[in-house]
Amino acid sequence: MSASDCIFCAIVAGLAPAARVFDDDDCLAFMDIQPLARGHVLVIPKRHAENLFDLEADEAAAVARTAKQLAHALRTVLEPEGLRLFQLNGAAAGQTVFHYHMHLLPRNADEPDVNPAALHGRKPADRAELEELAGRIRTALDSHLVS
Protein backbone atom coordinates (compact mmCIF):
# COMPACT_ATOMS: atom_id res chain seq x y z
CA MET A 1 0.00 0.00 0.00
CA SER A 2 1.28 3.44 -0.84
CA ALA A 3 0.75 6.63 1.15
CA SER A 4 -1.63 7.86 -1.54
CA ASP A 5 -3.96 4.90 -0.87
CA CYS A 6 -3.74 5.06 2.92
CA ILE A 7 -6.72 6.21 5.00
CA PHE A 8 -4.43 7.19 7.88
CA CYS A 9 -2.32 9.36 5.55
CA ALA A 10 -5.57 10.99 4.40
CA ILE A 11 -6.42 11.70 8.05
CA VAL A 12 -2.95 13.21 8.62
CA ALA A 13 -3.46 15.42 5.54
CA GLY A 14 -6.90 16.53 6.73
CA LEU A 15 -8.61 14.84 3.77
CA ALA A 16 -10.53 12.32 5.89
CA PRO A 17 -12.39 12.97 9.13
CA ALA A 18 -11.17 11.83 12.53
CA ALA A 19 -11.89 12.69 16.15
CA ARG A 20 -8.37 13.93 16.91
CA VAL A 21 -7.01 13.84 20.45
CA PHE A 22 -3.33 14.71 19.89
CA ASP A 23 -1.32 16.26 17.08
CA ASP A 24 2.33 17.31 16.96
CA ASP A 25 5.11 17.32 14.36
CA ASP A 26 5.67 13.57 14.61
CA CYS A 27 2.43 11.87 15.67
CA LEU A 28 -1.30 12.02 15.42
CA ALA A 29 -3.74 10.29 17.77
CA PHE A 30 -7.45 9.88 17.16
CA MET A 31 -10.43 7.87 18.31
CA ASP A 32 -10.91 4.51 16.61
CA ILE A 33 -14.11 4.71 14.54
CA GLN A 34 -14.80 1.03 15.18
CA PRO A 35 -13.70 0.74 18.80
CA LEU A 36 -13.34 -2.41 20.84
CA ALA A 37 -14.17 -0.36 23.97
CA ARG A 38 -15.07 3.18 24.95
CA GLY A 39 -11.93 5.31 24.70
CA HIS A 40 -10.15 3.18 22.08
CA VAL A 41 -7.45 5.49 20.66
CA LEU A 42 -4.99 5.00 17.79
CA VAL A 43 -1.55 6.62 17.71
CA ILE A 44 0.23 6.88 14.36
CA PRO A 45 3.43 8.41 13.03
CA LYS A 46 2.67 11.15 10.51
CA ARG A 47 5.06 9.68 7.95
CA HIS A 48 3.67 6.64 6.19
CA ALA A 49 5.32 3.47 7.47
CA GLU A 50 3.49 0.24 6.75
CA ASN A 51 4.50 -1.54 9.94
CA LEU A 52 7.13 -1.78 12.67
CA PHE A 53 9.71 -2.97 10.17
CA ASP A 54 9.35 0.25 8.14
CA LEU A 55 9.31 2.57 11.16
CA GLU A 56 12.33 4.70 12.04
CA ALA A 57 13.59 4.50 15.63
CA ASP A 58 12.77 8.15 16.34
CA GLU A 59 9.22 7.61 15.05
CA ALA A 60 8.80 4.59 17.31
CA ALA A 61 10.00 6.68 20.25
CA ALA A 62 7.55 9.47 19.37
CA VAL A 63 4.64 7.01 19.20
CA ALA A 64 5.65 5.54 22.59
CA ARG A 65 5.88 9.01 24.19
CA THR A 66 2.49 9.94 22.81
CA ALA A 67 0.97 6.66 24.00
CA LYS A 68 2.28 7.33 27.52
CA GLN A 69 0.75 10.82 27.60
CA LEU A 70 -2.55 9.49 26.29
CA ALA A 71 -2.55 6.62 28.78
CA HIS A 72 -2.53 9.18 31.59
CA ALA A 73 -5.26 11.22 29.90
CA LEU A 74 -7.42 8.12 29.40
CA ARG A 75 -6.95 7.21 33.05
CA THR A 76 -8.00 10.74 34.07
CA VAL A 77 -11.07 10.82 31.82
CA LEU A 78 -12.35 7.22 31.96
CA GLU A 79 -10.79 5.78 35.14
CA PRO A 80 -10.31 2.30 33.64
CA GLU A 81 -8.89 -0.49 35.77
CA GLY A 82 -6.31 -1.23 33.10
CA LEU A 83 -5.08 -0.26 29.67
CA ARG A 84 -4.21 -2.67 26.88
CA LEU A 85 -1.64 -1.54 24.31
CA PHE A 86 -1.31 -3.52 21.13
CA GLN A 87 0.17 -3.21 17.69
CA LEU A 88 -0.16 -5.61 14.75
CA ASN A 89 2.34 -6.10 11.89
CA GLY A 90 1.23 -7.69 8.63
CA ALA A 91 -1.99 -9.35 7.55
CA ALA A 92 -0.99 -12.64 9.20
CA ALA A 93 -0.85 -10.81 12.55
CA GLY A 94 -4.26 -9.21 12.00
CA GLN A 95 -3.18 -5.80 10.68
CA THR A 96 -5.98 -4.35 8.53
CA VAL A 97 -4.78 -0.77 7.96
CA PHE A 98 -1.26 -0.83 6.59
CA HIS A 99 0.06 2.30 8.27
CA TYR A 100 1.85 1.65 11.56
CA HIS A 101 -0.46 2.31 14.50
CA MET A 102 -0.64 1.54 18.18
CA HIS A 103 -3.96 0.87 19.88
CA LEU A 104 -4.72 2.13 23.40
CA LEU A 105 -7.66 0.19 24.78
CA PRO A 106 -9.07 1.02 28.23
CA ARG A 107 -10.15 -2.12 30.08
CA ASN A 108 -12.17 -3.01 33.16
CA ALA A 109 -12.20 -6.37 34.91
CA ASP A 110 -15.94 -6.90 34.41
CA GLU A 111 -15.72 -6.56 30.61
CA PRO A 112 -15.46 -9.67 28.44
CA ASP A 113 -12.00 -10.22 27.05
CA VAL A 114 -11.57 -9.40 23.39
CA ASN A 115 -9.20 -10.68 20.74
CA PRO A 116 -8.14 -7.44 18.99
CA ALA A 117 -7.23 -9.16 15.73
CA ALA A 118 -10.55 -11.00 15.52
CA LEU A 119 -12.95 -8.25 16.60
CA HIS A 120 -11.43 -4.99 15.42
CA GLY A 121 -13.55 -3.12 12.95
CA ARG A 122 -16.90 -4.84 13.48
CA LYS A 123 -19.09 -2.08 14.98
CA PRO A 124 -19.01 1.63 13.99
CA ALA A 125 -19.08 4.16 16.81
CA ASP A 126 -21.38 7.16 17.13
CA ARG A 127 -19.40 10.11 15.70
CA ALA A 128 -20.88 12.62 18.15
CA GLU A 129 -19.85 10.44 21.10
CA LEU A 130 -16.33 10.06 19.65
CA GLU A 131 -16.00 13.85 19.28
CA GLU A 132 -17.26 14.45 22.83
CA LEU A 133 -14.84 11.93 24.29
CA ALA A 134 -11.96 13.25 22.14
CA GLY A 135 -12.64 16.71 23.55
CA ARG A 136 -12.48 15.42 27.11
CA ILE A 137 -9.18 13.66 26.39
CA ARG A 138 -7.73 16.81 24.78
CA THR A 139 -8.81 18.82 27.83
CA ALA A 140 -7.05 16.35 30.13
CA LEU A 141 -3.89 16.66 28.03
CA ASP A 142 -4.13 20.47 27.81
CA SER A 143 -4.93 20.93 31.49
CA HIS A 144 -1.68 19.24 32.49
CA LEU A 145 -3.70 16.73 34.47
CA VAL A 146 -1.36 14.12 33.04
CA SER A 147 2.40 13.70 33.25
CA–CA dist 33, 127 (Å, integer): 8
Q: At what angle do helices 57-78 and 127-142 cross, to 10 degrees?
A: 100
CA–CA dist 136, 78 (Å, integer): 10
CA–CA dist 102, 80 (Å, integer): 18
101: annotated active-site residue:
yes
**In contact, 6 and 98? CB cutoff 8 Å:** yes
Catalytic residue among 40, 48, 99, 101: 101
As annotated, the active-site residues are 101
